[in-house]
Structure 1
Amino acid sequence: MFAERLFYDEKTEKFSLCTPEMIEIARSVPRGRPDTYGATPLNHQLVSQQQLELLKGFAELVETDIPPSTPEHIANYMKLIVPSRFVNRGVANHENYATAPVRPEAYANNDSMLEIMTRAETGHASPAELLITRQALGIRSVELACVTHPYGKHLDIRDEMKRSVKESIESMGGEYYRHPESKFFVKGFVDLRHPMVDDDLTPASKKTISPEEHIAAHFAKVIDKPLEIAEPDYSQGLLITRQSTIGEMVDGTTVRERTSFILRTDDDSIVPPESLEAICQLDRHSPTWKQDAVTAGRLDEYAKRLWEVKEYSLLIPISTTVYAFNMDSTKYIQAKQANDEYQQRLSEAKAIRDNFPNLFSRLVEDPNHWLSTLDDELSER
């Protein structure tokens, strides 16, 4: 069925989605708006005003109609984490787009492709159109759809998003998994001294900083070393994500869904003290801490049970994101980046050798200096 619609590229040995018929099908798939479940723009700089308005809307969403049962520390944490995650997604999506090996200009003579790529750049493309764009440009990872649903607001939009994603995967010839397995990860913990997420999980020392300082440092990159922060406190709440592989495309692209929520730990009836104690015993510097914490604290069991019964006052929803990841594109881009970095270093080394020969001679003799690794290469040039 789909073989008739797809073009088999003998050069890449993969089926191509970039055919007129597939593009037409992708156009018919429901598209979310930026304020519903539209994906983060590939180029948020083109629509900066739109993104600022969205950010303002999300801020209002988390600051109004807060459920009465929500503890103050959770409400304050939500006000910080929702905007910061919005900014993070924009930066990550744009970085993946910017590192793609093919630019939209390569399709200058294909109006249909340029049309869907323009929508992808501004956050108005359907998930199916984004799957085509990902393949056409060789993007390693691209967001297909996202809905922000703090406290369980807008979960009806999440259902709408999931239907659109399912239709996109299947209409583009992929396989949609109706009952995928899920993995849980601890991505941070509720502590207003330092709303730590992702790479900031491991504290460096015991200096307390304000949330404003943390966000400024995290996004503006005003420092070059890890933040010095206080010892973590897991007793207020944990930021957890549930990740599921929900589909596979004909070109090897994997489609994943990631839902984030806060698991309250401020009440023994939600998460027992022995679970938190087990997490505290773990090595926070371990690269597998995010998974180990889930296993040690049996957090997946508690989260699954609360989600199934829709106990959103104890397992507080934040957002759901669907993205497409391609390993072949990732490896290609990583290899290209490594080669570019090597060529840059080689150029710098040649400049030092030619302009400062005495200094160069001393440095290449130091086995710990990066110039020593290029000595043989330079001697051949």
Structure 2
Amino acid sequence: MMSFEQSNVQAMEWQEPALGYLYNGPEMLDGLSRTSRGEPSTFGSTPFNAFLPSIIDQQRTVIEHNDAQFQNVPEGVRPELATEAIDFNYGRVHHRTEKNFESFECREYYSFDRIPEELHETAQRVITGHGSPAENILIADILGMPTVELASTTHAYGRPERMKHLEDQRLAVEEAITFHDGTIIRSQKNHDKATWSRADHFQIKGECFKAGANRDASSLDGLRMTRTRTVGRVGLYRIYERSSFILDISKLPVDFMPQLQAIDITKPEKEEQMLAIPGFYAAIKDALRNDDYAAAIPIATTAWGVRENGQQIYENGRWRVRHLHSVSQSGQDRPLNAQYELLGLSA
């Protein structure tokens, strides 16, 4: 039987390091500063707090820049599905902004005093959306954020110049995993290629319907879809990549429409039934693998990390945030945003 002293020693061995699992001290800063860093207009991440007054104008410009990508519809993409792509992207951007902020607010360690002074400049960058993937996950780990966005690229319609940003993003995420001594998950079938996952996970996020028709299976025109891949692990974070696209069913090599229209799209099991249609799943994968941008209309790709105990951090954080806001509003404490001054940010 383990003695009291032995159990105490074992407990101490499993304690979380003082500043998270990734920070190794000031000696890592030189290498960290040279890791690949995107900008908001390329593959920069959504700011941890996009609601800071000091960066609202920046984010408005980024959104306008991304929206402009969808205006000139290339040949081969049907205009009605281009409209769906615009709407899908709009919802995606706002969802990411809210989720990033929620994770930041619900962080396990709320005070910025936890961030070493030598990392204040790094923290400024990641909070405002200018950090590298390696910097983003480092600050997230120190603060105990349940999730963290590493990078994101809007690549409307698969235009070459935007797909180049996606290539750069993937290299930067892989660099971040390697920099922090993480593990990159590669395909077992392609050891010689930088493939990003053992498996693709597709989800149907909504249906596209023919203009002016009833919104039912008989007028189905396309599908809003995502593909998620597990790409690696860093410390307590599992790293994922998710791509959003519009599937133009009419451009697939097989006519799946009769089988799709036979499914009751009002039922919760519709997604499972659609993806179970013989050959349908494979046709989607082939369209993506072959860069068939007319069939699978690209929208954007995001890489992010999910912490092992993230759900518990969220639950604890939501309670704490409600309490802090109520205290601040009652005048018993300084405003919650005051601590941003510690990092040289105006709130």
Shorter-chain TM-score bucket reads: 0.7 to 0.9
**Correspondence for 1:320:** 301
Task: Name the stretch that deviates more: 34-43 or 21-30.
Answer: 21-30
Question: Shift in Å at residue 35 of structure 1?
Answer: 0.3
Contact 1:234 1:265 in 2 (8 A): no
**Correspondence for 2:5:** none
Aligned length: 296
Which one of 105, 113, 120 corresponds to residue 98 of structure 1?
105
> Which secondary structure does the structure 2 equivalent of 1:187 belong to?
strand
> Which secondary structure does the structure 1 equivalent of 2:298 belong to?
strand
Q: Deviations for 1:236-274, whole angstroms, at most 9, x for unmatched residues? A: 11011111100012x331000001111102357454224
**Correspondence for 2:68:** 60
The 5 Å alignment of 1:124-203 reads: 124-153=130-159, 154-179=162-187, 180=197, 181-191=199-209
**Correspondence for 2:243:** 259
User: CA 1:272–1:120 in 2, change beyond 3 Å: closer, same or farther?
Assistant: same
The 5 Å alignment of 1:71-86 reads: 71-86=78-93
Counterpart residue type for residue 148 of structure 2: V
Computing the radius of gyration over CA atoms, which structure comes out larger, 1 or 2?
Answer: 1
Q: Deviations for 1:303-359, whole angstroms, at most 9, x for unmatched residues? A: 1111222111111111110000012132233256479999xxxxxxxxxxxxxxxxx
Name the TM-score, length of structure 1 as normaliser: 0.70
Contact 2:47 2:100 in 1 (8 A): yes
| Partner Cα separation in structure 1 for residue 184 and residue 119 of structure 2 | 25
**Correspondence for 1:12:** 16
1:329 and 2:310 aligned: yes
1:42 and 2:48 aligned: yes
1:309 and 2:290 aligned: yes
| Partner Cα separation in structure 2 for residue 165 and residue 48 of structure 1 | 26
User: CA 1:313–1:267 in 2, change beyond 3 Å: closer, same or farther?
Assistant: closer
**Correspondence for 1:27:** 33
User: CA 1:332–1:79 in 2, change beyond 3 Å: closer, same or farther?
Assistant: closer
> Which secondary structure does the structure 1 equivalent of 2:77 belong to?
coil
Larger RCO, structures 1/2 (Cα 8 Å, 6+ apart):
2
| Partner Cα separation in structure 2 for residue 51 and residue 169 of structure 1 | 27
Contact 1:104 1:117 in 2 (8 A): no
Contact 1:149 1:319 in 2 (8 A): yes
| Partner Cα separation in structure 1 for residue 127 and residue 21 of structure 2 | 21
Question: Shift in Å at residue 78 of structure 1?
Answer: 2.1
Percent identical pairs in the alignment equals 23
Note the residue ranges of structure 1 that are not aligned, 5 or more in a row. 1-7, 195-207, 209-229, 343-381
Task: Name the stretch that deviates more: 166-175 or 302-311.
Answer: 302-311
Contact 1:270 1:314 in 2 (8 A): no
Which one of 94, 111, 117 corresponds to residue 111 of structure 1?
117
Name the TM-score, length of structure 2 as normaliser: 0.77
| Partner Cα separation in structure 2 for residue 26 and residue 120 of structure 1 | 13
Counterpart residue type for residue 231 of structure 2: I
| Partner Cα separation in structure 1 for residue 218 and residue 305 of structure 2 | 34
Contact 1:246 1:255 in 2 (8 A): yes
Counterpart residue type for residue 312 of structure 1: Y
> Which secondary structure does the structure 1 equivalent of 2:239 belong to?
strand
Which one of 214, 221, 227 corresponds to residue 236 of structure 1?
221
User: CA 1:191–1:50 in 2, change beyond 3 Å: closer, same or farther?
Assistant: farther
Contact 1:235 1:266 in 2 (8 A): no
> Which secondary structure does the structure 2 equivalent of 1:164 belong to?
helix
The 5 Å alignment of 1:352-363 reads: none
User: CA 1:277–1:231 in 2, change beyond 3 Å: closer, same or farther?
Assistant: closer
| Partner Cα separation in structure 2 for residue 240 and residue 39 of structure 1 | 21
Contact 2:288 2:296 in 1 (8 A): yes
Counterpart residue type for residue 321 of structure 1: T
Task: Name the stretch that deviates more: 156-165 or 174-183.
Answer: 174-183
User: CA 1:30–1:339 in 2, change beyond 3 Å: closer, same or farther?
Assistant: closer
Task: Name the stretch that deviates more: 332-341 or 28-37.
Answer: 332-341
**Correspondence for 1:215:** none
Question: Shift in Å at residue 300 of structure 1?
Answer: 2.5
Contact 2:105 2:317 in 1 (8 A): no
> Which secondary structure does the structure 1 equivalent of 2:68 belong to?
helix
